[in-house]
Each structure stands twice: as structure tokens, then as C-alpha cells.
């Protein structure tokens, strides 16, 4: 009797213990390994065969899929003549800054014949992200989805979709983008443009040589699909819509949003957006175009041609009429700005009310000096530039993170990046205003661990007002405010949304507008912040934050991996 009771108690304790362990112990993710062989591959687009740089011969590149908490170990082996790094866009790399993949910021590039193992955790992320090359313009073909599914038994905040589909928007260039970049940086003039935009690597029906050139999404009636949109284009924002279908936005940059319906979404380079697509209850007697229409970052005609795929119910019937969605005008910045204003976090969030450091960054076009032995094609006889507070970023010859870690910053970088522009002017007044030569230097901001930071990014109309999708490495930030014209701290600060602002890694502003972001610098490392329009970042529209170690052991940057490439 007594022993039986003893056993009963023991059993109870055991069950309790097991329950305790399963409930309290964080579920350890599994380890997923991928091999990325960087190699050339011949592909046919726009009626032309071209050799492109790919991962494993695939274009777009392979999808990485993980469950939140999984550890990813990705071995990148470089078989091409170019230097390569791969960035895991949107992964915060908490205490794993060495794996961020930003050339000359967190690592020296992986040179021809070398390999490097990226090793990082997906803890704290769910949703749609992507990976891409982070050196020169190689990301034109080196990009692919990075999908992180919720942990087991954690549902989406919407009914489980019938299907999930990645939709990558990109560019197709007939010319060699590396040569084109070298040329534009040498002459200092304006950039060339791509020949077509793409959906999942395909230029679409309006640019097609054959049936195979357009992306087709085959769907069943009466179902809900989750479309995972990724803007991997070098230099274009997009409007995106599907004829006769309304989309429900549920996530942006791998953070759930308050859901809202829209016919057309707006997506900038570096951004991702998840939408639900409800298909019709019947097989409609039509095919529907899936359209990505470019939305230029400046008020000049770039490549204005949309790309279109097809949403197809059941089996294709060649006689079906093709329906087009109604798209905003090419230059409709109001539509884009209103769309961005609608994004809100799903639930209430705790934005730091206390700000330790305020920064005001003017971003826009400018000019760098022309070397003496050369004539340049930019304004004032100089080279076109993209200064932030009159400083254009100069990539160092060695990795900043290594210099920081080994206390050897001298001669590599300084920590006096200006907190404000050199002087006040009417930033968004009638252009051209205040054009002057900007410097080209490696200046950073150094932050103590845990600093609460606010940055107002003020677009200027110097030369001409343009949009700038700003991406921050190492952190997500809250978009607490946005507006048109000049930021006014007295008038605008009280209007900030500290209740349910969207949290993301890339934010865009209207031409001649501003955005205010907040983040807490609780991740040690060196983190690039830059415009995700490749031409602007190549023109130096970049800066970096050095975040020092905290006091505690788990607030310190671990030593570099042994196989970290050397410069």
C-alpha cells in the first residue's frame, strides 16, 4: 500500500518533471546544411543565351527552408572569377556578425577557389526573407528565397494556406552588369538600365520569345494561397497585382502585420511581403495576368516595361482571354506612400520611449571629385555620388569587423560619422539646391551596447528627389514616422506611432520625404546601413554602426570562425 503510494508520488513527480522539461526547455532546432557552389551557367532569356553567375547552376537560386530555431550551415564554394560573399537578408545574426556576408564590412570576400562556411541560427525569425550576393552587382543573378516556418504547433495568425508560393521579382540584363558597374563608377555618369524585369527569373509574356518565358502559377478554385513576394531587383521599386483578385497583406520583412486588403502592393528592393490570394470558387473562363510594374525611384523614365506571368485555373486553354490588373501610374508616388502608411504591426509593441541617441541623416544625390587625370560625366565635372550627411562611404581594403574585433581600427575607419548634416537648408526645396562636392571616407558611428537609437532619414532634392529603400543589417527597426517635405522635430515627433508601428529591415520613403526609425543596439558587431538601390549604394549611400560588446558574456561578439577569408 505504502510503496504503491510512493510509486504514485514518484510517477507524479516524474510526469511533472517531463512536462516541465518539455514546456520550459526551449525546443532545440535541428541543423540544416546546404552547399552553395558558385558557378557559371548558360541560360536563355530574351531570345539570347547568356552565361550567368549562379548558385548550383540554378536561377533564381535554390530556396533555403528552415523551421524557426534551426541552425543553418551553408558552405559557399567559389568557382567563378569574381570575389563573392552571400548575405542572409533580414537575419539579425545575433552574436554571429561574422556570418552577415557583407564584403569588407563583416568579412573579406571569398576569392576564386576558396570556400567559407556561414553558420547561424534562425531563432527569432519567421516568414519570408531572402539571400543574395553582397558585393558589387553580383546579386543580379545570385539571389534566392530564405523561408523560415513557424515552430511546431505555432500557427500562422491566419488559416493555414492550401499552398505557399515564392514570387521573386528581379532584373534581366543582356549586358555584363559587372562591366557596366565598373564603367559607371569610372566615368561618374548615370547608370545603364536592365532589359527586362522578371518574375521567378522569367521576363514574362510581353518580353517573351517562347511560351516558356513567362511564369505560370497554376491554382485550384476556392483555395487560399500564400504568396511570398521578394523584391530582388537591383534598381527598381514595383507595383504588384493580379487581375480580378484582391490580395490580403499579412506580413512584411518577416514580421506579421495587421491584415488589410489591397489590389496592388508596393515593394522596394530588399523588402519582402506575404499576401493571401483567395482563388475564385469556380474555373473562370479567363486567365489572369500577374503583373509587376516598375515604379521608378526618380522622376525620369527608366525601363518602364512591366513583367507579367499568368495565374491559371486548371488546365491551360489557349483561347482564354487574358485579363490585366489596373495598375497605378508609373510615377504614382502618392499611391506608394499611402500604401506604406498602412503597414502596422499585428499586435501592440513596445517601442523604446527613451531615446539615447538622435541622428538626422540627409540622403540624396551629390557629387564626388573627379580624379585629376580624368574627365568625368557627373555634375560639376565630378562623379555622381550618394552622400549621407555629405559623406559618401568608401569601402576599406580589409573587413571592418575584424579591425574592430582586434582593436586595429586605426587607418581603417574612424568613428566620427556626422550626427547631422553640415548645415541646415531647405532639404526638399526646389532642386538643384546645395550641390557641393562630398567626401569619400570610411566613417562610422560607434554605439555602446544597448543604446536606444532614433534615425530620421531625410531625402533631399539635391539634383533631383528620389526614393531610397534603406536597409539596416543586424537589427529590425520600428518605422515610427514618415512624411513628405522636411522633417520638423517639434511638429512631427508627437505624431510618432509608438503603439503598433511596422517592424522591418528595409523602409522606403517618398521622393522628397522622410522616415523615422528606432532600434536598440543590442547586437555586437559592425552593421552596414544602406540604400538598397544598387546604383545608390555603389555611389556611396552607405554607412555603418559599430556596436560594442556588452558587459555580460552573452552580450559579446564571439571570436571569428577559423575559415574566415583573408583580404
**Chain residues in the site for ligand NAG (CB under 6 A):** 83, 108-109, 111, 207, 244, 284, 286, 303-305, 323, 390, 405-407, 422-423, 425-426, 429-430, 434, 436-439, 567
∠ CA 499-450-73 to the nearest 5 degrees? 95
Which residue's beta carbon is nearest to the bound ligand NAG?
422
Q: Kindly state the DSSP code that residue 205 receives in the 8-state scheme.
A: G
Strands 383-385 and 366-368 turn out to be antiparallel
Q: Which residue has the cell 545608390?
A: 536
Q: Which is nearer to ligand NAG, 83 or 274 (CB)?
A: 83
Pick between residue 377 and residue 439 the one whose CB is nearest to ligand NAG.
439
- For residue 150, the minimal CB distance to ligand NAG (Å) is 33
Helix or strand run (H / E) with residue 15: helix 2-24
CB of 522 to Cu ion, least distance (A): 27
DSSP 230-253: EE--SS-EEEEEETTB-EEEEEET
- Specify the residue, 144 or 513, whose C-beta has the smaller distance to Cu ion: 513
Cell of 224: 487560399
192/549 with CB nearer Cu ion: 192
In the list Cu ion, ligand NAG, none, the entry touching 57 (Cβ below 5 to 8 angstroms by class) is none
Q: What is the distance between the alpha carbons of residues 493 and 468, in angstroms, rounded to a whole number?
A: 21
Tell me the closest approach of the beta carbon of residue 207 to ligand NAG, in angstroms. Answer: 6
Chain residues that interact with Cu ion, rule: CB under 5 A: 468, 531, 533, 536
Please identify, using beta-carbon distances, which residue of 62 and 429 lies nearer to ligand NAG.
429
What does each C-alpha distance from 509 to 246, 297, 480, 483, 515 come to in angstroms?
A: 25, 10, 13, 8, 6
Residue 127 Cβ vs ligand NAG, minimum distance, rounded to whole Å: 30
Please say whether the beta carbons of 241 and 297 come within 8 A: no
Which does residue 536 touch among ligand NAG, Cu ion, none (CB within 5 to 8 A, set by kind)? Cu ion
Decide which of ligand NAG, Cu ion, none touches 425; Cβ closer than 5 to 8 Å per partner kind: ligand NAG
Residue closer to Cu ion, measured from CB, 144 or 366 = 366
| Smallest gap from residue 108 Cβ to ligand NAG (A) | 5
Query: H or E stretch including 339?
Result: helix 333-341
Picked from Cu ion, ligand NAG, none, the partner binding residue 533 (CB below 5 to 8 A depending on kind) is: Cu ion
Cβ closer to ligand NAG: 211 or 348? 211
**Strand 272-278 versus strand 224-231 pairing type:** antiparallel
CB nearer to Cu ion: give 122 or 506. 506
Q: Which is nearer to Cu ion, 129 or 531 (CB)?
A: 531
For 286-348, list the strands marked E by DSSP.
287-295, 307-313, 322-323
Least Å distance, CB 214 to ligand NAG, is 14
What is the dihedral sign for C-alpha 72, 75, 81, 83? positive
How far does Cα 360 stand from its chain's mean position? 22
Ramachandran area for residue 400 (φ above 0: left; ψ -120 to 50: alpha; else beta): alpha
Are β-strands 477-484 and 503-504 bridged in parallel, bridged antiparallel, or unpaired?
antiparallel
> What's the alpha-carbon Rg for the chain, to the nearest Å?
24
All three cell numbers of 250, joined, read 499579412
65 binds, among Cu ion, ligand NAG, none (CB under 5 to 8 A by kind): none
Shortest CB 268 distance to ligand NAG, Å: 20
82 versus 158: smaller Cβ distance to ligand NAG: 82
180 binds, among ligand NAG, Cu ion, none (CB under 5 to 8 A by kind): none
How far apart (Å, rounded) are the C-alpha atoms in residues 52 and 49?
10
485: left (phi over 0), alpha (psi -120 to 50) or beta: left
| Residue 47: CA count within 13 A, CB half-sphere | 6
- Measured from the CB atom, the residue of 113 and 423 that comes closer to ligand NAG is 423
Closest distance of CB 516 from ligand NAG, Å: 19
Residue 532 phi, psi dihedral angles, 5° rounding: -90, 5
Smaller CB distance to ligand NAG: residue 166 or 512?
A: 512
Q: How far is the CB of 303 from ligand NAG (least distance, A)?
A: 4
Q: How far is the CB of 424 from Cu ion (least distance, A)?
A: 22
* Beta strands, E only, 268-380: 272-278, 287-295, 307-313, 322-323, 357-363, 366-368
Supply the minimum distance, in Å, between the C-beta of residue 16 and ligand NAG.
44
Please say whether the beta carbons of 439 and 391 come within 8 A. Answer: yes
Pick one of Cu ion, ligand NAG, none as the site partner of residue 531 (Cβ within 5 to 8 A by kind). Cu ion
Q: C-beta of 536: minimal distance to Cu ion in Å?
A: 3
Amino acid at each position: 500500500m505504502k510503496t504503491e503510494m510512493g510509486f504514485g508520488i514518484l510517477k507524479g513527480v516524474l510526469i511533472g518533471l517531463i512536462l516541465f522539461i518539455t514546456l520550459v526547455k526551449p525546443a532545440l532546432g535541428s541543423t540544416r546544411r546546404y552547399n552553395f557552389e558558385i558557378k557559371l551557367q548558360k541560360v536563355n532569356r530574351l531570345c539570347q543565351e547568356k552565361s550567368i553567375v549562379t548558385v548550383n547552376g540554378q536561377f533564381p537560386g535554390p530556396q533555403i527552408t528552415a523551421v524557426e530555431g534551426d541552425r543553418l550551415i551553408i558552405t559557399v564554394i567559389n568557382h567563378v572569377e569574381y570575389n563573392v560573399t552571400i548575405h542572409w537578408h533580414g537575419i539579425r545574426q545575433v552574436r554571429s556578425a561574422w556570418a552577415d556576408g557583407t564584403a569588407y564590412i563583416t568579412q573579406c570576400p571569398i576569392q576564386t577557389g576558396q570556400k567559407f562556411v556561414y553558420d547561424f541560427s534562425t531563432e527569432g525569425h519567421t516568414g519570408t526573407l531572402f539571400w543574395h550576393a553582397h558585393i558589387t552587382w553580383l546579386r543580379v543573378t545570385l539571389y534566392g528565397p530564405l523561408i523560415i516556418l513557424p515552430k511546431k504547433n505555432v500557427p500562422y495568425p491566419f488559416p493555414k494556406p492550401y499552398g505557399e508560393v515564392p514570387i521573386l521579382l528581379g532584373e534581366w540584363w543582356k549586358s555584363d552588369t559587372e562591366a557596366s558597374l565598373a564603367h559607371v563608377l569610372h566615368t561618374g555618369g548615370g547608370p545603364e538600365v536592365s532589359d527586362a524585369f522578371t518574375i521567378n527569373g522569367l521576363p514574362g509574356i510581353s518580353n517573351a520569345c517562347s511560351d516558356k518565358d513567362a511564369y505560370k502559377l497554376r491554382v485550384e478554385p476556392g483555395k487560399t494561397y500564400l504568396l511570398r513576394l521578394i523584391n530582388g531587383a537591383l534598381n527598381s521599386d514595383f507595383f504588384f497585382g493580379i487581375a480580378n483578385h484582391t490580395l490580403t497583406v499579412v506580413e512584411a520583412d518577416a514580421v506579421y502585420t495587421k491584415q488589410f486588403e489591397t489590389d496592388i502592393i508596393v515593394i522596394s528592393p530588399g523588402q519582402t511581403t506575404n499576401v493571401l490570394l483567395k482563388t475564385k470558387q469556380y474555373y473562370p473562363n479567363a486567365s489572369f495576368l500577374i503583373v509587376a510594374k516598375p515604379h521608378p525611384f526618380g522622376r525620369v523614365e527608366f525601363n518602364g516595361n512591366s513583367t507579367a506571368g499568368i495565374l491559371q485555373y486548371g488546365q491551360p486553354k489557349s483561347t482564354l482571354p487574358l485579363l490585366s490588373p489596373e495598375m497605378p501610374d508609373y510615377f504614382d508616388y502618392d499611391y506608394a506612400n499611402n500604401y506604406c502608411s498602412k503597414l502596422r504591426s499585428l499586435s501592440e509593441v513596445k517601442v523604446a520611449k527613451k531615446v539615447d541617441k538622435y541622428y538626422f541623416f540627409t540622403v540624396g544625390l551629390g557629387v564626388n571629385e573627379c580624379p585629376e587625370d580624368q574627365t568625368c560625366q557627373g555634375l560639376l565635372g565630378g562623379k555622381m555620388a550618394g552622400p549621407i550627411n555629405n559623406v559618401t562611404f568608401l569601402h576599406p581594403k580589409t573587413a571592418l569587423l575584424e579591425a574592430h574585433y582586434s582593436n586595429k581600427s586605426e587607418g581603417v575607419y574612424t568613428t566620427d560619422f556626422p550626427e547631422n548634416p553640415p548645415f541646415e537648408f531647405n532639404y526638399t526645396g526646389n532642386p538643384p539646391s546645395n550641390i557641393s562636392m562630398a567626401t569619400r571616407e570610411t566613417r562610422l558611428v560607434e554605439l555602446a551596447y544597448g543604446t536606444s537609437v532614433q534615425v530620421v532619414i531625410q531625402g533631399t532634392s539635391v539634383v533631383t528627389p528620389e526614393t531610397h529603400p534603406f536597409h539596416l543589417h543586424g537589427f529590425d527597426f520600428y518605422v515610427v514616422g514618415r512624411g513628405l517635405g522636411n522633417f520638423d522635430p517639434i511638429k512631427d515627433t508627437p505624431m510618432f506611432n509608438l503603439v503598433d508601428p511596422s517592424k522591418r529591415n528595409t523602409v522606403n520613403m517618398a521622393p522628397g520625404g522622410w522616415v523615422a526609425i528606432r532600434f536598440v543596439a543590442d547586437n555586437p558587431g559592425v552593421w552596414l546601413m544602406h540604400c538598397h538601390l544598387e546604383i545608390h549604394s555603389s555611389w556611396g549611400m552607405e554607412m555603418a554602426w559599430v556596436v560594442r560588446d556588452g558587459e555580460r558574456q552573452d552580450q559579446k561578439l564571439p571570436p571569428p570562425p577559423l575559415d574566415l577569408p583573408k583580404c
